[in-house]
Structure 1
Amino acid sequence: MRKIVVVDYPRDWDEAIEDTEVVDAQSYLTDTSYTDIRNARVFNLCRSYRYQSAGYYVSLLAEARSHKAIPSVTTMQDLKSPTIVRAITVEIEELIHKSLSGLKSENFTLSIYFGQNVAAKYEKLCKALHDHFQAPLLRAQFTCKDAWVLQSISAIPINDVPASHRSYLKEFAKAYFARHRFSGARISRKIYDLAILVDPQEKAPPSNQRAIQHFVEAAESQGFYTELITKDDYRRLAEFDALFIRETTAVNHHTYRFARKAFADGLVVIDDPTSILRCTNKVYLAELLTKAKVPIPKTMIIHKDNRKQVEAALGLPCVLKKPDSSFSQGVVKVKNQEDLQQQLDEMLCDSELIIGQEYTPTDFDWRIGVLDKQPLYACKYFMAKGHWQIYNWNVAKKKDEEGAGETVPFEQVPFHVLHTALKAANLIGDGLYGVDLKEIDGKAYVIEVNDNPSIDAGVEDRILKKDLYGAIVKSIKKRIDNNKNIRSNGES
């Protein structure tokens, strides 16, 4: 990806940075050769981002050309919003207090150059503010009455950087480009930037570490610079072309916020926010699958007014599910009326609606992986030892938490299982899904459709090997290319 630093006047930036070109704003705005560049990252160091100024138009036209602009026009607007400034104060209140508690004055100004300050003790605070406001040069104003609060934050015109700070500015700029791998011969061959969202502390992530490494290798072999990010990197999403979520998703969770922001910013996203909304709510799935006449076990949407009808409708034992349950958590089997009423009391206290299903025991569940509305892999997930579910989180030994998995060639998968899985997944969208089914008396019943399906090295990849990871990355790359073609056609 081409790296371009844009300034009002060439004298504003005379530091040579490897594999980065410096151009003046007038040239970037008017020279048609920049319009034709397909992949570029634009670092806007103009003196002003005022509405309709040259600096404003640099970022605006960069976005119109599908270039990655830092700062984006959205960030420029955020810098002027008191509401957003107040929200950030609340979000990083503890860090502000910890960083500034030793100061005796009532006012403090923090200059942030490429995410750093000349005083190392403010490093964490600078990083947090820079993550929220992705602009090269920032000035944060703090005031203290009862506690320190962020009063305002604004861009620093590059010609306002004191002479005594210029050496730091250049040092921080070099570190910034190196840290983000914007320079260097190896990276210059990369076409796209892919972020993989992970949680290193997650107990049961959708991909184990070996699988994540295979994804990285597959992406880099197809021309991606790939970086593993965490929930702390929310404000960095604009740096990437695509987001691939590899931690368990939920609506009231940072994974959904990441997906929503990335989608709004024009990134390719797997899992996209619509798929997360649809798949993570069992009530929605039950309604959708029933309406589409996709076979499912006998199912009942339970609420406070029909809770007394559960036993008559489903029999006992039956299964109760919280709407946002996943990985066998929030799913219980009730054996008798007393147990049923106790679980209903607890679940209906948290949600107006829950799901009840007839108990349909099988030795294993089918899992059909689906990508781009086509089958990707097929597995049998066997029940955990001595348990009725695939996962059993209440065992003493970790090895007994999860049942075995067996990958199956498509030619050995019954047609009705594949057909039913595709019908269910295609109701959700064209993303990456895992459809769970039970096969009973020669008929397939959908248990659920999962966004963010498990892809572990040694399980789902046993047949396709590294081609499984390559297929998913290829789909992401194709989506990026399609997006760029749509934008190009719209601009022509």
Structure 2
Amino acid sequence: MRKIVIVNNPKDWDFNIEDVEVVAAQAYLTDPAYTEIKNARIFNLCRSYKYQSTGYYVSLLAEARGHRAIPNVTTIQDLKSQTIVRSITNEMDDLIQKSLSDIKSRVFTLSIYFGQNVARKYEKLSKQLHDLFQAPLLRAEFVFNKEWNLHNISPIPLNEVPEHHRKYLMNFAKAYFARHRFSGAKPKAKIYDLAILTNPLESDPPSNRKAIQQFIEAAHTLGFSTELITKDDYKRLSEFDALFIRETTSVNHHTYRFARRAHADGLVVIDDPVSILRCTNKVYLAELLTKAKVPIPKTMIIHKDNRDQVVQELGLPTVLKKPDSSFSQGVVKVCDEAQLNEELDSMLTTSELIIGQEFMPTDFDWRIGVLDRQPLYACKYYMAKDHWQIYNWKGKKNNISGNAETVDIGEVPFNVMHTALKAANLIGDGLYGVDLKEINGQAYVIEVNDNPSIDYGYEDQLLKKDLYLSILKSIKRRIEIQKNIPNEQSA
């Protein structure tokens, strides 16, 4: 497996280590040669992992390309959340107190280079923190208040490593890269009730009130004790056996933190955090689907260096998408070069990369619901009145969305169903909604949703209560598999 160190500036890495390649981040993101590499481990030493920064996209696209990224995007997100940091490190408390017992100051900073510290007495603490948060360079900040607490853990930019630590860094790096396997600590399972995360104030949630009630009734039928929770119930997650998210998900949002915390606590989670990360970023999806040869509209990953090629590559009109757009928001159609440049100026100020796609007008989009890698339901979502999208947020109240028609799975064209399943199964085995356009017998994937709409009176038109039961049976089966309990009722 190729070992590739990614840095903002190759001058940041002046070590010559056998079998380790050093590549500039911009080259890795934009050079097609790196897309074709089939077996690589990517060590991301970019100066920042901030959301939608260069460092963030290095790890995101590495995962889309099938490369193994260290840190991966899940770790990057974990490092941002003090709540997740404290939750994950709770079991290290004895080690923390023992390791820092001789320190007299109230604040202590531990620099961790490839799992090691320059002082051998912190070797075990450094290794365990690195195993939990697999990033090459970490800075752990501890504060003493009656006892030592991990206040913060964050990446160390490579160019900020003190000069007198560079020789240690080189030796630690050589030992690190000589290893053949890199494995992190696995979160332990903890405590059999169902939590459904909702937001009573959300104007267009993924499930309306009647649908939520159907989920509760289905859960009761299967023997669940069910509770509706909100973002204020974060600390209570360990009370449940499963978390079902029925609130619109996003990475920089409490829904992701709930999913990640629940997963770390051993709960069964739909939507799981990996699916949220993969589905909510259009750049990741474009790279993943292209690599797997799943048909999508002609697509271009746009950045500041290739923005002048959009018209030549995609023509006009063309569609621009923010990486984390959803429900048609953050998606615009541009019809001329002036509008194109105006939108690019705006979008590229908030994200290093955005998506451009050829405009493919159709009367409706297919939505194939997929669960456990199998089709669950099928719908046709028609475009909003006098609009090119399903949702027209600027339209009149009665014309914001188009009509929806539920279709028997057996009536879905083969190409549509086959393409939808191929796309969803690249993400995982959770609950997904795959949106496709069908043109001249060819199906094109528009996006894969980790949090698809399940609304009473729409997606359940044909299956009725069985739709809700199917989803709850899947959750119950996952719990029983995890707990090694023979599954009878939900077989």
Amino acid aligned to 1:347? M
How far apart are the structure 2 equivalents of 1:244 and 1:215? 10
How far apart are the structure 2 equivalents of 1:481 and 1:284? 32
How many corresponding residue pairs? 312
Residues 1:380 and 1:237: Cα distance change in structure 2 (over 3 Å):
same
How far apart are the structure 1 equivalents of 2:88 and 2:300? 48
Do structure 1's residue 357 and structure 2's residue 332 form an aligned pair? no
Contact 1:436 1:449 in 2 (8 A): yes
Contact 1:437 1:448 in 2 (8 A): yes
Amino acid aligned to 1:420? T
Alignment match, 2:390 = 390
**Shift in Å, 1:411:** 1.9
Q: List aligned pairs for 1:90-239, cutoff 5 A.
A: 192-239=192-239
Do structure 1's residue 264 and structure 2's residue 236 form an aligned pair? no
Q: List aligned pairs for 1:20-31, cutoff 5 A.
A: none
**Shift in Å, 1:81:** 8.5
Alignment match, 1:477 = 476
Deviates more, 1:386-395 or 1:348-357: 386-395
How far apart are the structure 2 equivalents of 1:73 and 1:391? 40
Alignment match, 2:273 = 273
Alignment match, 1:286 = 286
Contact 1:320 1:355 in 2 (8 A): yes
How far apart are the structure 1 equivalents of 2:314 and 2:402? 26
How far apart are the structure 2 equivalents of 1:361 and 1:242? 40
Residues 1:355 and 1:153: Cα distance change in structure 2 (over 3 Å):
same
Contact 1:192 1:223 in 2 (8 A): no
Do structure 1's residue 407 and structure 2's residue 406 form an aligned pair? yes
Do structure 1's residue 248 and structure 2's residue 248 form an aligned pair? yes
How far apart are the structure 1 equivalents of 2:421 and 2:402? 25
Amino acid aligned to 2:440? D
Q: Which runs of 5+ in 1 are unaligned?
A: 1-71, 83-149, 155-190, 488-492
Amino acid aligned to 2:363? D
Give secondary structure in 2 for the equivalent of 1:407.
strand
How far apart are the structure 2 equivalents of 1:444 and 1:335? 24
Alignment match, 2:416 = 417
Do structure 1's residue 344 and structure 2's residue 344 form an aligned pair? yes
Amino acid aligned to 2:386? G
Residues 1:152 and 1:436: Cα distance change in structure 2 (over 3 Å):
farther
**Shift in Å, 1:192:** 3.0
How far apart are the structure 1 equivalents of 2:307 and 2:288? 22
Give secondary structure in 2 for the equivalent of 1:200.
coil
**Shift in Å, 1:381:** 0.2
Alignment match, 2:334 = 334
Amino acid aligned to 2:261? K
Q: List aligned pairs for 1:396-475, cutoff 5 A.
A: 397-475=396-474
Amino acid aligned to 1:255? T
Residues 1:430 and 1:73: Cα distance change in structure 2 (over 3 Å):
closer
Contact 1:385 1:400 in 2 (8 A): yes
Amino acid aligned to 1:412? E
Residues 1:216 and 1:75: Cα distance change in structure 2 (over 3 Å):
farther
Cα deviation, 1:106-155, whole Å, max 9, x if unaligned, reads xxxxxxxxxxxxxxxxxxxxxxxxxxxxxxxxxxxxxxxxxxxx96799x
**Shift in Å, 1:398:** 1.9
Alignment match, 1:180 = none
Alignment match, 2:297 = 297
Report the TM-score, using the length of structure 1 for normalisation: 0.61
Cα deviation, 1:46-71, whole Å, max 9, x if unaligned, reads xxxxxxxxxxxxxxxxxxxxxxxxxx
Contact 2:303 2:348 in 1 (8 A): yes
Cα deviation, 1:290-318, whole Å, max 9, x if unaligned, reads 00000000000000000000011001000
**Shift in Å, 1:73:** 10
Contact 2:318 2:333 in 1 (8 A): yes
Contact 1:381 1:405 in 2 (8 A): yes
Contact 1:79 1:153 in 2 (8 A): no
Bigger radius of gyration among the two = 1
Contact 2:88 2:264 in 1 (8 A): no
Alignment match, 1:38 = none
**Shift in Å, 1:203:** 1.5
Alignment match, 1:108 = none
Give secondary structure in 1 for the equivalent of 2:349.
helix
Alignment match, 1:322 = 322
The alignment's C-alpha RMSD in Å is 2.3
Alignment match, 2:120 = none
Cα deviation, 1:320-359, whole Å, max 9, x if unaligned, reads 0000000000000001000000000000000000000000
Give secondary structure in 2 for the equivalent of 1:249.
coil
Cα deviation, 1:172-206, whole Å, max 9, x if unaligned, reads xxxxxxxxxxxxxxxxxxx9300000011112110
How far apart are the structure 1 equivalents of 2:453 and 2:146? 44
How far apart are the structure 1 equivalents of 2:447 and 2:459? 18
Residues 1:485 and 1:333: Cα distance change in structure 2 (over 3 Å):
same
Residues 1:227 and 1:74: Cα distance change in structure 2 (over 3 Å):
farther
Contact 1:319 1:357 in 2 (8 A): yes
How far apart are the structure 2 equivalents of 1:304 and 1:207? 38
Cα deviation, 1:238-276, whole Å, max 9, x if unaligned, reads 000000000111111110000000001000000000000
**Shift in Å, 1:372:** 0.1
Cα deviation, 1:437-462, whole Å, max 9, x if unaligned, reads 00001100000000010000000000
**Shift in Å, 1:223:** 0.5
How far apart are the structure 1 equivalents of 2:88 and 2:351? 39
Amino acid aligned to 2:232? D
Residues 1:418 and 1:76: Cα distance change in structure 2 (over 3 Å):
closer
**Shift in Å, 1:400:** 1.0
Give secondary structure in 2 for the equivalent of 1:349.
coil
**Shift in Å, 1:226:** 0.3
Alignment match, 2:374 = 374
Residues 1:285 and 1:486: Cα distance change in structure 2 (over 3 Å):
farther
Contact 1:417 1:444 in 2 (8 A): yes
Give secondary structure in 2 for the equivalent of 1:445.
strand
